[in-house]
Amino acid sequence: MALIVQKYGGTSVGTTERIRNVARRIAKWRRAGHQVVVVPSAMSGETNRLIGLAREIQSEPDLRELDVVASTGEQVTIGLLAMALKAQGIEARSYTGWQVRVVTDSAFTKARIQGIDEHRLRADLAAGIVPVVAGFQGIDGDGNVTTLGRGGSDTSGVALAAALKADECQIFTDVDGVYTTDPRIVPEARRLRQITFEEMLEMASLGSKVLQIRSVEFAGKYQVRLRVLSSLTDPDLDLDTEAKSGTLITFEEDEHMEQAVISGIAFARDEAKLTVMGVPDRPGVAYAILGPVADANIDVDMIIQNASVDGSTDFSFTVPRGDFNRAMAILEQVRTHVGARAVVGDNRICKVSMVGVGMRSHVGIASRMFRTLSEEGINIQMISTSEIKISVVVDEKYLELAVRVLHRAFDLDQQPA
Amino acid sequence: MALIVQKYGGTSVGTTERIRNVARRIAKWRRAGHQVVVVPSAMSGETNRLIGLAREIQSEPDLRELDVVASTGEQVTIGLLAMALKAQGIEARSYTGWQVRVVTDSAFTKARIQGIDEHRLRADLAAGIVPVVAGFQGIDGDGNVTTLGRGGSDTSGVALAAALKADECQIFTDVDGVYTTDPRIVPEARRLRQITFEEMLEMASLGSKVLQIRSVEFAGKYQVRLRVLSSLTDPDLDLDTEAKSGTLITFEEDEHMEQAVISGIAFARDEAKLTVMGVPDRPGVAYAILGPVADANIDVDMIIQNASVDGSTDFSFTVPRGDFNRAMAILEQVRTHVGARAVVGDNRICKVSMVGVGMRSHVGIASRMFRTLSEEGINIQMISTSEIKISVVVDEKYLELAVRVLHRAFDLDQQPA
């Protein structure tokens, strides 16, 4: 008998019919003797509808009040799902974030979980009741409703699994796992049976939007065994088969680890690149350039500063394409201030990254990557590396080609030995 | 400077445009120096949508979970209205039932308010903040979400006014007050400037669905000055004019009281009448008949037992028409048990009632009512009287005619001297 936390995404509970299917799936686990805690998202489209109403009232909605409004989506789902479980003959009880209590800080719309009081949930589990806990929401120290930000239900699920020391946190979603890359670009992309947390973090932050990145960090920090699996399979699917399906995100590299050097290829479209040229090479100049950009709430991703030549250097970074014009305007002001020669930008670029813990112990991955790209005539504009990732910036028109040739060159369509 | 509780119904907050108008109206009161607490309902149609979702899951939804779902409608409105007030430059803060806390019993879907902790609201008012409190909802002693039943937001408003000892509770709705009768039936129907609580109770229970009856009881019990007024007027309407508009429901009969004998004519369609004939006249027989009906959760309204003749009597009562068949089936079983002769029923009747505190001091009202109806050839099937009300049951086809001739006979279209 295991203690399982099951999180269901918005499409999984998008209609009352699907909510009934989710209840059947939970009932199957329950009847097999497992203890189950369920964390549903809002019905798909509902959070957007609520935020849309708020924006009709205030173009920039008050954040405290926005959380009051947005959190109702999950509250509806927990009630409906508890009803569906009762209709299946399974004892269930819904809990909002404040009822549990999921205590967060007061950063409305992007609050962070500080603690979870799990004693009511434990009492329910001991009594054979399935607690159905609203994802995405919490309560701050002053009793205000908070939400965790987009995709926050994943984090709720993982945090509950950590608090309850669950055997596994299962994230049911509309894909059946994490792939070596996006199958829409590379049809041969292969589902990974396992991936490490570090790799998943790199994959998630680069556009494989299977899991919210914060939930992966949380799972890594609290050593929660995390599995991504599909809610679109037959709810009566054999339980043993289901239990091994999807992708397991492990915190132990050696846990039956697939021995691939590279686990996957992530990418990010809609990037833009900015370069401040001829920057005097003196202390504080990086901050002088990036400080105003950060103050404008623009996310900076890759940052590269070349070695200086004749006391001056070029300073480049990437931002989301939507922030390109604002970033350029800021840099124009910064340029005179830091005494740089020029500012140039390119908003038609993308980023392609190869991710794999195996890189640590294998040399030559980077050179093989660069050779593969050059053989296709793809010019590399920027390079950035970490322990388990190599990222390159290329012209956006080469995105699909770059991903495809790298996928083939590293045999990612093959099951590793 | 007064302390006013303003309750806004579902149509008043039915769109974001209307929510903005409500905010303008509140801002007007606030800027004139008044302290305002606002209690909005769910956006019109929203509660029905939520209950509809629940019914798709369970034909008879679990009541605890139904309250979790249904209470979200008001939670959305408080957030949106607080935003709209901020957009008007008015400081505002939303509160759910559990945040206030509005403590109720645990009778899910029809909970009763047991107490309100008003200290946060008082602190807000002192700080110039408009608290926007979700109507219809509360929290029980175990921390469960409860709702007060249909129209419960009126009760929330009145209860808050009582707790805060507000100078007036204003119920903004889509009609501009309480009328002598339904203007759709009698175009000459006149708006009452004032009505007593007792009269309002009789009017409310008989189909003038302006106010939830429990809210009126609550207002009477706690001596809350209650005013029904329109939210469809120009939000920038002169404040003094608005403050005197609508219908004031008073707990003091002599407060500038209009001296009419009859205040209004209420009626109820969709009634049905059942008669158990030849009931042995012995103790306990009324309970033997009505006990099983009550056990089946059928609301019994008028109950009449004639004087007995030869040791047996006829026992009649009315029920909502939708419960007629069930009630007949129950009576057929009861009949043999109590040794009655026969059970007859009629599901094509209606009830017409004349209401007025002036009846207490005026004789001959009943006879004038009966004469008026007989002159039109309307047969009276049942009669029931109270201190301030005379009700008759007549064939449903006479409803409009009966209301019209009584309205005219008692000069209800004329402003009283």
For B14, nearest residue in chain A (alpha carbons): A53
pLDDT at A57: 97
**Chain B residues lying within 8 Å of A99, measured CB to CB:** 143-145
The CATH number of whichever domain residue A47 belongs to comes to 3.40.1160.10
Report how far apart, in Å, the C-alpha atoms of A306 and of each of A3, A140, A271, A291, A406 are: 52, 45, 20, 19, 26
Rounded to whole angstroms, the Cα distance separating B173 from B154 reads 10
Q: Which of B48, B59, B62, B95 to mutate to test the interface with A (most CBs of A within 10 A)?
A: B62
Rounded to whole angstroms, the Cα distance separating A32 from B353 reads 62
**Chain B residues lying within 8 Å of A94, measured CB to CB:** 64-65, 68
pLDDT at B66: 98
- Model confidence pLDDT, tens digit, residues A201-242: 888 766 556 787 788 888 888 999 999 999 989 999 999 999
Binned at pLDDT 50, 70 and 90, residue A254 comes out as: low
**pLDDT over threshold 80, residue A307:** no
For A140, nearest residue in chain B (alpha carbons): B99
Same domain, yes or no: B226 and B292 = no
**B80 touching A, CB under 8 A?**
yes
**Chain A residues lying within 8 Å of B69, measured CB to CB:** 75-76, 79-80
Residue B417, in any domain of the structure: no
**B137 touching A, CB under 8 A?**
no
- Model confidence pLDDT, tens digit, residues A345-390: 999 999 999 999 888 777 788 889 999 999 999 999 888 888 888 9
Structure tokens at A3: 């203690």
Same domain, yes or no: B139 and B190 = yes
Percent pLDDT > 70 in chain B is 96
**pLDDT over threshold 80, residue B35:** yes
Q: What three-state secondary structure class fits A70?
A: helix
**B327 touching A, CB under 8 A?**
no
The CATH number of whichever domain residue B329 belongs to comes to 3.30.2130.10
Same domain, yes or no: B284 and B240 = no
> DSSP code of B404?
H
Rounded to whole angstroms, the Cα distance separating A230 from A266 reads 21
Q: Which of B65, B108, B109, B146 to mutate to test the interface with A (most CBs of A within 10 A)?
A: B65
Check CB contact under 8 Å for A83 and B93: no
Select the residue of A56, A65, A86 nearest B16 (Cβ to Cβ): A56
Rounded to whole angstroms, the Cα distance separating A390 from A384 reads 6
- Model confidence pLDDT, tens digit, residues A321-355: 999 999 999 999 999 888 899 999 999 999 999 99
Q: Which of A6-10, A213-217, B18-22 has the lowest mean pLDDT?
A: A213-217
Rounded to whole angstroms, the Cα distance separating B245 from B229 reads 6
**B168 touching A, CB under 8 A?**
no
Same domain, yes or no: B227 and B308 = no
**Chain A residues lying within 8 Å of B65, measured CB to CB:** 79-80, 82-83, 86, 94
- Which of B201, B223, B250 terminates a domain? The answer is B250
Same domain, yes or no: B33 and B164 = yes
For chain A, the domain total comes to 2
**pLDDT over threshold 70, residue A417:** no
Rounded to whole angstroms, the Cα distance separating B118 from B79 reads 19
Name every residue whose Cβ is closer than 8 Å to that of residue A148 and which is 6 or more positions away in sequence. A104, A110, A111, A112, A113, A136, A137, A138, A155, A156, A214
Residue B256, in any domain of the structure: no
For B134, nearest residue in chain A (alpha carbons): A68
Four-CA torsion B10, B11, B17, B20, nearest 10 degrees: -60
Residue A74, in any domain of the structure: yes
Residue B143, in any domain of the structure: yes
pLDDT at B259: 60
Binned at pLDDT 50, 70 and 90, residue B158 comes out as: very high
- Which of B250, B276, B292 terminates a domain? The answer is B250
Check CB contact under 8 Å for B79 and A66: yes
**Chain B residues lying within 8 Å of A83, measured CB to CB:** 54, 57-58, 61-62, 65-66
Higher pLDDT, B129 or B311: B129
Binned at pLDDT 50, 70 and 90, residue A90 comes out as: very high
Rounded to whole angstroms, the Cα distance separating B227 from B219 reads 11
**pLDDT over threshold 70, residue A255:** no
| Residues 275 through 304 of chain B touching chain A, CB cutoff 8 Å | none
CB pairs under 8 A between A and B: 105
Same domain, yes or no: A283 and A180 = no
pLDDT at B257: 53
Binned at pLDDT 50, 70 and 90, residue B385 comes out as: confident
Same domain, yes or no: A141 and A290 = no
Same domain, yes or no: B219 and B322 = no
Residue A289, in any domain of the structure: yes
Residue A417, in any domain of the structure: no
CA-nearest of B107, B104, B105 to B134 is B104
Same domain, yes or no: A241 and A316 = no
Mean pLDDT of A36-40: 98
**A143 touching B, CB under 8 A?**
yes
> Taking a C-beta distance cutoff of 8 angstroms, is the pair B124, B171 a contact?
no
Same domain, yes or no: B7 and B68 = yes
Check CB contact under 8 Å for B83 and A61: yes
In a 13 Å sphere around the CA of B118, the CA atoms on its Cβ side amount to 17
**pLDDT over threshold 80, residue A151:** no
Binned at pLDDT 50, 70 and 90, residue A137 comes out as: very high
ipTM comes to 0.82
pLDDT at B412: 93
Same domain, yes or no: A109 and A186 = yes
- Model confidence pLDDT, tens digit, residues A50-76: 999 999 999 999 999 999 999 999 999
**Sign of the C-alpha dihedral computed for residues A240, A200, A158 and A212 taken in this order:** negative
Check CB contact under 8 Å for A68 and B87: no
**pLDDT over threshold 90, residue B154:** yes
Structure tokens at B219: 């207002």
**CA-angle at B170, arms to B210 and B357, nearest 5°:** 55
**CA-angle at A176, arms to A170 and A178, nearest 5°:** 85
- Model confidence pLDDT, tens digit, residues B215-241: 888 888 899 999 999 998 999 999 999
Residue B32, in any domain of the structure: yes
**pLDDT over threshold 60, residue A38:** yes
Pairing of strands A389-395, A382-386: antiparallel
User: Residue B285: what are its φ and ψ, rounded to 5°?
Assistant: -75, -35
pLDDT at B201: 85
In a 13 Å sphere around the CA of A319, the CA atoms on its Cβ side amount to 24
Check CB contact under 8 Å for B94 and A68: yes
**pLDDT over threshold 90, residue A280:** no
pLDDT at A206: 60
Select the residue of B57, B80, B94 nearest A83 (Cβ to Cβ): B57
Q: Which of B43, B62, B68 to mutate to test the interface with A (most CBs of A within 10 A)?
A: B68
- Which of B204, B223, B250 terminates a domain? The answer is B250
**B113 touching A, CB under 8 A?**
no
Same domain, yes or no: A283 and A354 = yes
Residue B23, in any domain of the structure: yes
Give the domain range for residue B323: 264-409
Rounded to whole angstroms, the Cα distance separating B305 from A137 reads 58
Task: Give pTM, 2 decimals.
Answer: 0.83
**What is the rounded average pLDDT for all residues in chain B?**
91
Mean pLDDT of B117-143: 97
